[in-house]
C-alpha cells in the first residue's frame, strides 16, 4: 500500500458526494410531493424498505431490473471516458436485440453454441450502430450526439417496420416476433441458486453484465488501449502529439460502446421476453446516461448506480400498486435527480478552476 | 394532386417550425437545446390544463407558454449559471417533462381549439399556422439586421467577444433560451389545440426532428423553416402512403438527411463556434 492511499480514498468519496446528495434530495422530494398530495410520507419510506430488502426474492428482482441498465450505463461511461457522448444506446440495444432474435428464431443448435452466437450477433449489430456515428465523427467531424439521436430514430423505424410486417408472429395482432428456440434462452439463476424462488426472473445475463464490468475495469486500468482512450478523452491534441490517432480511438470506442449497449437487448430478448417485442425498453438507453453520471463513469460505480436505479424501478412499481402513486412521479423525479447532479458537477468544476 | 397535400403539409410543418425557430435562438447564443422535445410536450400539456380550468383557448395558450418558459428557465439556470453539461441538462428536462405530464395527466375532456382563418385557395388554418412565416421573418430580421441580434450571435460565436465590449454573455443567453421556450411551447400548443386533447407523448419525437431541421437549415431561420417544410411534406407523403414506401421507413427521411448534411457530404452546415461551451 502506498502512502497516499487514504488520500485517494478520500478523493474518491468526494467525487461520489454529488451522487449521494442527489439521491437523498430525490427521496426528500418524493416525501414532500406526498405531503402535498395529502398522503403520509412515512408510509412511503416504510414501503421502500419493505419493497427492497425484505427477502432474497426482492434482491433478485432488483438485480434483474438493473441488468440492462448495467449494460447501457457502461456503454455511456466508456464513451464518456473518451470524450464521446453516446446517447444512441436505445437504438443500439434494439438493433442488437433484433439480431439476437433473428438468430434465435432461425437457427437451432445446442445452447452452448447458439447462445454465444446470438450474443455475438447482438454485439456486432449494436457495434455497427455505434460505429456509424463514430466513423462520421472521426472522418467528417460530425457531432456524435446529433448522429446517435438520429440513429435512434432510424432504429425505431426499422424495428417497427420489421416487427409489424415480415417478422410479425403469424396470426397475431401484437407487434412482436414469434418465440425464439428454447436452446437460445438464457438459464435463470433460480436453478443455480437454491435460495432464490423459482419464479424469480434473475438470469444469466446478470452474470454477463458483471463480466463486462470487470472487463472494462481492466481495459481502462491496465491496458494500452485504456490509456489511449483516457488520453483522447482528456485532450485529443495531447494524444495526437503522443502519436495516438484520436480518430481511430473514436471509432473503436463507439463500436465497443454500441456492442455493450446491444447486450442490453440480449438481456431482454434471451433473458426475459424470449422474443422481440416492439418497444420492449422503457428507456434503458436514456436511463443509462443517468447511471453513468451517477456512477462517475467508473465501471464499479456504474454497477452500483445501476443497482440503485433497478431498486428505484421496483419501488416505483410497488408504490404505484400499493399507494396509488402514479409512475410519472418517479420519472419526473429522475429528471430532477439528473439535473441536480449535472448542476453540482458543473458548479464544482468551475469552482476548482 | 400536389394541391391536396398542401393543407396537411402546412399542419405538419407548423409545430416543427416553432420548435426549430426556438432551437435557432438558443443554439445561436451558444446553448445546445435538446430540451425542445420537453418544451413542446409541456406546452401541449399546459394548453389543455389552462383551457380546461378556464374554458378559454387564450388562457390555454398563456399556460402553455408559461410552462415552456419555466422549463426554459431551468435549462438556462443549469447551463448558464451552474455550467452544467448542455446535453445532459436537456435530456433531464425531457425526462422531467414526460414524468410531469404523465403524473398529472389531464382528464380527456375536449378543450376549445384556437381561432381559425380562411386563406384563399389554401383552406382554413389555425392562427398559429398563419403566424409561422411572420415569426420566421421577424426572427431573421432580429438576428441578422439588428444590433441585439448581432450580440446574441456573438455570444454563440465566442465566449470572450461580448466580454471585451463589457457586455454580458450570460444575459443574452438567458434571453435566447427563454425565447426558445416560448417558441417551442407554442409548437406544443398547436399540437394539442389541433386535436382538442392532450395524450401521453403527443409530441412523438418532433422536438428532435426540429433539432434536425435546425442543423439542416444551417442554424438560420429561413433555411430552418424551409427544412421543416421539407420534413412536413415527407411526413404528409408518409400519411398518404404514395409510392408504396412504408410509412415507418419514410419517417426516417429527416434523420438520414440530417446525418448526410452534417457529414458535409451534401451541402454544408456549420454550427456556431462556441456552441456548447460554458462561460469561463
Taking 70 as the threshold, does the pLDDT of residue B176 lie above it?
Answer: yes
Distance between CA A164 and CA A179 in Å, rounded?
Answer: 15
pLDDT class of A105 with cuts at 50, 70, 90: very high
The reply to whether residue B83 touches residue A161, judged by beta carbons under 8 angstroms, is: no
Instruction: Judge: B252–A145 Cβ closer than 8 Å, yes or no.
Output: no
- Among B88, B252, B258, the residue with its CB nearest the CB of A342 is B88
Is the CB of residue B253 less than 8 Å from the CB of residue A141? no
Give the model's pLDDT for residue B236. Answer: 82
Q: Judge whether A157 and B248 are in contact, CB under 8 Å.
A: yes
Among all residues of chain B, which has the CA nearest to that of A141?
Answer: B263
Is the pLDDT at A4 greater than 60, yes or no?
Answer: no
Average pLDDT over residues A38-50: 84
When divided into structural domains, chain B yields a total of 1
What is the per-residue pLDDT for B266? Answer: 63
Rg of chain A over all Cα atoms, to the nearest angstrom: 21
pLDDT for B264 beyond 90 = no
Q: Taken in order A89, A91, A94, A97, is the CA torsion positive or negative?
A: negative
Q: Please state the rounded mean pLDDT for residues B53-76.
A: 95
Candidates B78, B82, B209, partner chain A, best to mutate (most A CBs within 10 A): B82
Q: Whole-angstrom Cα distance, residue B214 to residue B202?
A: 21
Residue range B239-256: mean pLDDT, rounded? 76
pLDDT confidence of residue B222: 95
Chain B nearest-CA distance from A156, in A, is: 9
Any domain includes B238 = yes
Is the pLDDT assigned to residue A291 strictly greater than 90?
yes
Tell me the pLDDT band of B260, cut-offs 50, 70 and 90: confident
CA A207 to chain centre: 14
| % of chain B beyond a pLDDT of 90 | 59
Q: Do A161 and B102 touch (CB under 8 A)?
A: no
Q: How far apart are CA A254 and CA A128, in angstroms?
A: 9
From A44-58, A262-276, A330-344, B47-61, the region with the lowest mean pLDDT:
A44-58
What pLDDT score was predicted for residue A255? Answer: 97
Confidence (pLDDT) at B104? 81
More confident residue, A276 or B268: A276
Beta-carbon separation of A146 and B265 below 8 A: no
Q: Which residues of B touch A329 (CB under 8 A)?
A: 99, 103
What is the 3-state secondary structure of chain B? CHHHHHHHHHHHHHHHHHHHHHHHHHHHCCCCCCCHHHHHHHHHHHHHHHHHHHCCHHHHHHHHHHHHHHHHHHHHHHHHHCCCCHHHHHHHHHHHHHHHHHHCCCCCCCCCCCCEEEECCCEEEEHHHHHHHHHHHHHHHHHHHCHHHHHHHHHHHCCCHHHHCCCCHHHHHHHHHHHHHHHHHHHHHHHHHHHCCCCCCCCCCHHHHHHHHHHHCCCCHHHHHHHHHHHHHHHHHHHHCHHHCCHHHHCCHHHHHHHHHHCCCCCCCCCCCCCCCCCC
Judge whether A353 lies within some domain.
no
Task: Judge whether A52 lies within some domain.
Answer: no
* Average pLDDT estimate for B41-65: 95
- Return the closest-CA partner of residue A270 out of A198, A216, A213, A209: A209
Is B227 domain-assigned?
Answer: yes
State the Cα–Cα distance between residues A322 and A39, nearest whole angstrom: 12
pLDDT for A199 equals: 84
**C-beta atoms surrounding B267 within 10 Å:** 12
Which pLDDT does position B146 carry in this prediction?
Answer: 95
Confidence tier at A36 by pLDDT (50, 70, 90)? confident
**Number of domains chain A contains:** 1
CB atoms closer than 10 angstroms to residue B150: 11
Longest dimension (CA), chain A: 69
Could B105 and A335 be called an inter-chain contact, meaning their C-beta atoms sit closer than 8 Å? no
Q: Is residue B154 part of a domain?
A: yes
Mean pLDDT of A69-79: 97
Contacts of A281 (CB under 8 A, 6+ apart): A68, A90, A93, A94, A264, A265, A268
Residue A48 binned pLDDT confidence (cut-offs 50, 70, 90):
confident
Least confident of A186-195, B194-203, B222-231: A186-195
Position A249 scores a pLDDT of 95
Q: So what's the pLDDT on residue B255?
A: 87
On chain B, the residues whose CB falls within 8 A of the CB of A134 are none
Cβ neighbours of residue A318 closer than 8 Å, sequence gap 6 or more: A47, A51
Q: Is residue A36 part of a domain?
A: no
The predicted structure's pLDDT at residue A277? 94
Residue A197 has pLDDT above 80, yes or no: yes
Looking at residue A2, its pLDDT comes to 46
Higher-confidence position of A340 and B236: A340
Give me the pLDDT at residue B273, please: 83
In this structure, are residues B46 and B191 in contact, taking their beta carbons and an 8 Å threshold? no
CB A286 within 8 A of CB A274: no
B269, part of any domain? no
CB atoms within 10 A of CB A33: 17
**pLDDT tens digits for A118-164?**
999 999 999 999 999 999 999 988 888 889 999 999 999 999 999 98
Q: What share of chain A has pLDDT > 90, as a percent?
A: 55
Average pLDDT of chain A, as a whole number? 90
ipTM above 0.90 for this complex? no
Cβ atoms B197, B242 nearer than 8 A: no
**Residue B1: pLDDT band with limits 50, 70, 90:** low
The more confident residue out of B38 and A194 is B38
The reply to whether A293 falls in a domain is: yes
pLDDT at residue B20, rounded to an integer: 97
Q: What's the mean pLDDT in B163-171?
A: 85
**pLDDT category, B242, cuts 50, 70, 90?**
low
Residue B272 lies in a domain: no
With beta carbons less than 8 A apart as the criterion, state whether B73 and B16 touch. Answer: no
What are phi and psi for residue A176, nearest 5 degrees?
A: -155, 160
Nearest-CB residue to B264 (from A140, A327, A334): A140
- For residue A21, the model assigns a pLDDT of 87
Distance CA B79, CA A332 (A): 19
Residue with cell 406544443: B188
Q: Is residue A178 part of a domain?
A: yes
Give the range of the structural domain holding residue B153, as residue numbers without chain letter. Answer: 2-262
B128: confidence class by pLDDT, cuts 50, 70, 90: very high
Picking from A146, A157, A326, the nearest residue to B102 by CB comes out as A326
Q: Is A169 part of any domain?
A: yes
3-state secondary structure chain A: CCCCHHHHHHHHHHHHHHHHHHHHHHHHHHHHHHHHCCCCHHHHHHHHHHHHHCCHHHHHHHHHHHHHHHHHHHHHHHHHHCCCCCCCHHHHHHHHHHHHHHHHHHCCCCHHHHHHHHHHHHHHHHHHHHHHHHHHHHHHCCCHHHHHHHHHHHHHHHHHHHHHCCCCCCCCCCCECCCCCHHHCCCEHHHCCCCCCCCCCCECHHHHHHHHHHHHHHHHHHCHHHHHHHHHHHCHHHHHHCCCCHHHHHHHHHHHHHHHHHHHHHHHHHHHHCCCECCCCCCHHHHHHHHHHHCCCCHHHHHHHHHHHHHHHHHHHHHHHHHCCCCHHHHHHHHHHHHHHHHHHHHHHHHHC
According to the model, what pLDDT value does residue A315 have? 86
Say which residue, A220 or B246, is predicted with more confidence. Answer: A220
pLDDT digits (tens, 9 = 90+) for B65-114: 999 999 999 999 999 999 998 999 999 999 999 999 988 888 888 889 89
Chain A residue with CA closest to B100: the answer is A332
Structural domain contains residue B247: yes
pLDDT of residue A122: 97
CB atoms within 10 A of CB B70: 15
Q: pLDDT digit string (tens) for A55-73?
A: 888 899 999 999 999 999 9
Could you tell me the CATH number of the domain that includes residue B199? 1.10.3470.10
The chain A residue lying nearest B95, using CA atoms, is A335
To the nearest whole Å, the CA of B127 is away from the closest chain A CA by: 31
Range of the domain at A292: 67-304
Q: Predicted confidence band at A5 (pLDDT cuts at 50, 70, 90)?
A: low
Residue the block writes with cell 456556431? B272
Amino acid at each position: 500500500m502506498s502512502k497516499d492511499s487514504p488520500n485517494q480514498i478520500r478523493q474518491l468519496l468526494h467525487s461520489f458526494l454529488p451522487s449521494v446528495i442527489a439521491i437523498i434530495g430525490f427521496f426528500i422530494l418524493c416525501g414532500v410531493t406526498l405531503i402535498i398530495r395529502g398522503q403520509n410520507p412515512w408510509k412511503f419510506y416504510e414501503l421502500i424498505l419493505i419493497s427492497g430488502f425484505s427477502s432474497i426474492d426482492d434482491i433478485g428482482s432488483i438485480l434483474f431490473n438493473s441488468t440492462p441498465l448495467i449494460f447501457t450505463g457502461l456503454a455511456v461511461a466508456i464513451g464518456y471516458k473518451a470524450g464521446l457522448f453516446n446517447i444512441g444506446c436505445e437504438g443500439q440495444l434494439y438493433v442488437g436485440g433484433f439480431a439476437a432474435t433473428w438468430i434465435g428464431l432461425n437457427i437451432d443448435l445446442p445452447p452452448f453454441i447458439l447462445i454465444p452466437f446470438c450474443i455475438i450477433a447482438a454485439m456486432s449489430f449494436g457495434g455497427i450502430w455505434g460505429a456509424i456515428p463514430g466513423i462520421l465523427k472521426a472522418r467528417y467531424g460530425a457531432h456524435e450526439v446529433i448522429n446517435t439521436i438520429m440513429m435512434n430514430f432510424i432504429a425505431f423505424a426499422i424495428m417497427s417496420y420489421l416487427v409489424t410486417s415480415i417478422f410479425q408472429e403469424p396470426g397475431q395482432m401484437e407487434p412482436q416476433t414469434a418465440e425464439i428456440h428454447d436452446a437460445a434462452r438464457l438459464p435463470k439463476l433460480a436453478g443455480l441458486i437454491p435460495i432464490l424462488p423459482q419464479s424469480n426472473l434473475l438470469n444469466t445475463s446478470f452474470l454477463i453484465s458483471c463480466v463486462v464490468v470487470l472487463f472494462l475495469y481492466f481495459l481502462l486500468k491496465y491496458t494500452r488501449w485504456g490509456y489511449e482512450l483516457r488520453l483522447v478523452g482528456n485532450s485529443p491534441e495531447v494524444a495526437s502529439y503522443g502519436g495516438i490517432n484520436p480518430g481511430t480511438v473514436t471509432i473503436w470506442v463507439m463500436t465497443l460502446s454500441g456492442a455493450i449497449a446491444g447486450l442490453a437487448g440480449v438481456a431482454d430478448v434471451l433473458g426475459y421476453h424470449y422474443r422481440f417485442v416492439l418497444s420492449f425498453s422503457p428507456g434503458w438507453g436514456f436511463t443509462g446516461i443517468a447511471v453513468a453520471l451517477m456512477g462517475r463513469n467508473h465501471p464499479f460505480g456504474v454497477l452500483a448506480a445501476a443497482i440503485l436505479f433497478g431498486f428505484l424501478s421496483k419501488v416505483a412499481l410497488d408504490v404505484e400498486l400499493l399507494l396509488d402513486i402514479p409512475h410519472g412521479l418517479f420519472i419526473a423525479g429522475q429528471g430532477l435527480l439528473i439535473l441536480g447532479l449535472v448542476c453540482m458537477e458543473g458548479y464544482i468544476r468551475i469552482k476548482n478552476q | 394532386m400536389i394541391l391536396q397535400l398542401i393543407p396537411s403539409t402546412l399542419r405538419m410543418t407548423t409545430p416543427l417550425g416553432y420548435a426549430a425557430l426556438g432551437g435557432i435562438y438558443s443554439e445561436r447564443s451558444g446553448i445546445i437545446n435538446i430540451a425542445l422535445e420537453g418544451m413542446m410536450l409541456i406546452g401541449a400539456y399546459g394548453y389543455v390544463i389552462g383551457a380546461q380550468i378556464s374554458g378559454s383557448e387564450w388562457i390555454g395558450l398563456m399556460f402553455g407558454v408559461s410552462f415552456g418558459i419555466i422549463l426554459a428557465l431551468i435549462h438556462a439556470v443549469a447551463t448558464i449559471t451552474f455550467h452544467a453539461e448542455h446535453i445532459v441538462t436537456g435530456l433531464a428536462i425531457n425526462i422531467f417533462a414526460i414524468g410531469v405530464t404523465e403524473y398529472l395527466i389531464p382528464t380527456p375532456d375536449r378543450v376549445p381549439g384556437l381561432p381559425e382563418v380562411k386563406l384563399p385557395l389554401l383552406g382554413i388554418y389555425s392562427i398559429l399556422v398563419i403566424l409561422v412565416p411572420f415569426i420566421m421573418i421577424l426572427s431573421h430580421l432580429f438576428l441578422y439586421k439588428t444590433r441585439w441580434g448581432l450580440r446574441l450571435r456573438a455570444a454563440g460565436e465566442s465566449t470572450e467577444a461580448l466580454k471585451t465590449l463589457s457586455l454580458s454573455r450570460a444575459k443574452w443567453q438567458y434571453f435566447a433560451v427563454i425565447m426558445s421556450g416560448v417558441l417551442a411551447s407554442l409548437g406544443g400548443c398547436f399540437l394539442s389545440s389541433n386535436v382538442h386533447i392532450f395524450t401521453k407523448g403527443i409530441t412523438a419525437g418532433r422536438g428532435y426532428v426540429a433539432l434536425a431541421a435546425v442543423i439542416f437549415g444551417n442554424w438560420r431561420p429561413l433555411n430552418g423553416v424551409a427544412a421543416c417544410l421539407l420534413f412536413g411534406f415527407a411526413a404528409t407523403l408518409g400519411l398518404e402512403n404514395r409510392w408504396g414506401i412504408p410509412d415507418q421507413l419514410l419517417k426516417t427521411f429527416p434523420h438520414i438527411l440530417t446525418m448526410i448534411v452534417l457529414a458535409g457530404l451534401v451541402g454544408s452546415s456549420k454550427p456556431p463556434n462556441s456552441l456548447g461551451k460554458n462561460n469561463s
